[in-house]
Amino acid sequence: MVRGLSAVCGIIGVAVERGALPEKLGDVLYGCLKRLEYRGYDSVGIAFIDDLGRLVVRKSVGKIDEVREKIGFSEIDGVVGLGHTRWATHGRPSDENAHPHTDCSGTIAVVHNGIIENFSELRKWLENLGHRFRSETDTEVIPHLIEEFIRRGMSIYSAFKRAVSLLRGTYAIAAIYAGGRRILFARNTSPLVIGLGKGYNFIASDIPAFLRYTNRVVVVHDGELGYVTSSSVRLEAADGKVVSVETRARVVEWSPEAVEKGGYRHFMEKEILEQPQALAQTIAGLGEEVRRAAELIARAERVIFVAAGSSYHASIIGALALTRLAKVPSVPLVSSEARWWLGRWLSDRDVVIAVSQSGETIDTLIAVRIAKDLGAKVVALSNVLGSAIPRESHLAIYTRAGPEIGVAATKTFTTQVAALSYLAATVAKLRGEASRSEYEAVVEDLRRCPISASLAIESGRSLVSKALDVFVRSRSAFYLGRGFGLGVAKEGALKMKEVAYVHAEAYPAGESKHGPIALVEPGFPTLFCACSSEELEMVASNVEEMKSRGAVTILVAPRKLAERVRSADHVIEVPKHLSPAVQAIPLVIPLQMLAYETAVARGYDPDKPRNLAKTVTVI
């Protein structure tokens, strides 16, 4: 039985005049793929057109540095090339299933990110026409379709367009062909951006891939397709009209250094340590967009957050801040579950807030579409300008954390919390639920936040020195909290799970007695998070419960308040804030650092956790 092997991936294409870029084509592709590796790292492949106009494909299972020699990047020269880094969602990664995929004649190469849902029927049809398939992937139908339409007399571009018109599913596709200098591309749902240079143009899944060479970008929208050469770009809308690239082009503010490790051991370490700066930039940039979203939310009957992973944890904190401070009933929903909860009860009096750092998470995008269909107003919070979720929402707020390369979200989480805290305070002020001084207190908290994030890094060092050994030795741990502290506990536990592979379970502290406490035995690490004195007072009894069962208890809490619970084995103090939502920011930083150091001490690469991809664009 033929099974489709789909993938979440990074794709890159470059068309260049000789000498226009400082490196040879192979080295450019290597560098771009390296910067895309966080999107997937099961296998790597490239295709390029050699001096004789022939198509050459090289691919292998493994991480890019493991296969660098085998692929021979540094020997490759040429003027047009494609690259792909793959994270398999079904089946094992293998050389055959690695991209690029080619047609029967080996003259057309395609890289793809997404899922072709109707690939089985297309494949059957093509096989009946005599096409021979080499892999089990859904992607391989694309080069064969193009080949088929060329056989029927179409030009390469017409054949590409015809092939794309037959695809159902999600895709970002790039294709090259023997003797050609164009890179053909098409997008539906999976991200795709064009990088505009002088004497060269790129097509990629993400801006960081080519940021070293250009910061002028064009985001390709759903249904659009076209091609790039070294000196031109053709972009067609879904209705076939030509889109003006100059009008669409934007300059991104991210610096090329932001996507380099710059002396740090890993991107995760760099991104944890650059949180003070990321917070300062984000807070400084929160203005008109927040005011407009706040006006919408101030009139709302209910607010529903939809998000995944760390963005969901930020949503717990945001929903609680809106409920408690602004008195707008708000709930967080895991976006992949949203379809079961959202229904006809939703109306244009409700606001859905879609939180996604990448702006491309498919589950969150689908939840946005459902909410819009049901009539709700949608506000997006994202870190990536022009990405799908903000584009499809009625309003968008942006964090300004800079590109995040580490698979584990760190600076994008804390900047989301900062933006949501400010949004909640602005809504509270508009609704008359917060006095001027209460509003000013949140603004002052946010103003101080970059400094307290720096001080929290010191608290993190203290947590690492006290708790690293116990986490390195442990297979499981509890992270407990209440209210805002639960959002922090969940985020801390997720970091520990995803990079250090310790089964860290986050639980509402009060719920721990209803079952999970049975797991506790002497030496079991239990970490408590509290964002306010109210939370701390309630968590204090849970510390005692765990301690009396032999757990190693660690409390992370605001300075001065933490003094009240001296019974924990280790007490880690972080700078104190008045707003419990803002308090979450310095509280989570030590937890990020503990997860990072545990991963390193256990010998794992925290930038490339096993089985994970940075952006999940398949359901």
Amino acid identity, position 228 = V
Q: Report the residue number, 180 or 460, with the smaller CB distance to ligand M6R.
A: 460
Which one of 495, 576, 608, 614 is the catalytic residue? 614
What contacts 24+ positions apart, CB below 8 Å, involve 151-156? 156/108, 156/180, 156/182, 156/184
Beta-bridge partner residues of 555: 528, 571
Q: Report the residue number, 148 or 491, with the smaller CB distance to ligand M6R.
A: 491
* Contact flag: residue 308 with ligand M6R (CB under 6 A): yes
Beta-bridge partner residues of 379: 353, 395
Nearest to 531 by CA among 434, 428, 618, 445: 445
Burial of 360 (0-12, 13-18, 19+ CB in 10 A): buried
Burial of 178 (0-12, 13-18, 19+ CB in 10 A): middle
Q: Report the residue number, 245 or 494, with the smaller CB distance to ligand M6R.
A: 494
> Within a 13 Å sphere around the CA of 593, how many CA atoms are in the beta-carbon half?
25
* Contact flag: residue 498 with ligand M6R (CB under 6 A): yes
Which residues, numbered 328-367, are part of the site for ligand M6R (CB under 6 A)? 356-358, 361, 364
* Contact flag: residue 615 with ligand M6R (CB under 6 A): yes
Which residues, numbered 364-393, are part of the site for ligand M6R (CB under 6 A)? 364
* Contact flag: residue 85 with ligand M6R (CB under 6 A): no
Stretch that binds ligand M6R, among 83-91, 154-162, 459-467, 611-619 (CB under 6 A): 611-619
Q: Are 135 and 108 in contact (CB under 8 A)?
A: no
Which one of 9, 32, 449, 529 is the catalytic residue? 9
* Contact flag: residue 407 with ligand M6R (CB under 6 A): yes
Length of the chain counted residue by residue: 619
Q: Report the residue number, 21 or 496, with the smaller CB distance to ligand M6R.
A: 496
Main-chain phi, psi angles of 618, to 5 degrees: -125, 145
Give the Cα separation of 290 and 212 in Å (integer).
Answer: 31
Near ligand M6R by CB under 6 A: residue from 6, 60, 310, 542: 310
Strand order in the sheet with 476-481: 503-508, 476-481, 525-529, 552-558, 570-574
- Active site includes 614? yes
Which residues, numbered 548-607, are part of the site for ligand M6R (CB under 6 A)? none
Which residue has its beta carbon closest to ligand M6R?
Answer: 309
Structure tokens at 315: 């949503």
Q: Report the residue number, 451 or 612, with the smaller CB distance to ligand M6R.
A: 612
Q: How far is the CB of 354 from ligand M6R (least distance, A)?
A: 9
Count of residues of this chain found to bind ligand M6R when the rule CB under 6 A is applied: 17
User: Binding string, 259-298, against ligand M6R, x = CB under 6 A?
Assistant: ----------------------------------------
The residue to which tokens 């702006």 are assigned: 359
Q: Report the residue number, 356 or 512, with the smaller CB distance to ligand M6R.
A: 356
Q: How far is the CB of 613 from ligand M6R (least distance, A)?
A: 8
Q: Are 413 and 487 in contact (CB under 8 A)?
A: no
Q: Report the residue number, 97 or 205, with the smaller CB distance to ligand M6R.
A: 205
Q: Report the residue number, 36 or 79, with the smaller CB distance to ligand M6R.
A: 36
Q: How far is the CB of 15 from ligand M6R (least distance, A)?
A: 29
Alpha-carbon Rg for the chain in angstroms: 25
Beta-bridge partner residues of 185: 174, 226
**Helices of type H across 208-266:** 245-248
Q: How far is the CB of 365 from ligand M6R (least distance, A)?
A: 9
Q: Are 355 and 381 in contact (CB under 8 A)?
A: yes
* Contact flag: residue 616 with ligand M6R (CB under 6 A): yes
Stretch that binds ligand M6R, among 342-350, 519-527, 552-560, 608-616 (CB under 6 A): 608-616
Nearest to 336 by CA among 383, 368, 291: 368
Binding stretches for ligand M6R (CB under 6 A): 308-311, 356-358, 361, 364, 407-409, 494, 498, 612, 615-616
Active site residues: 9, 614
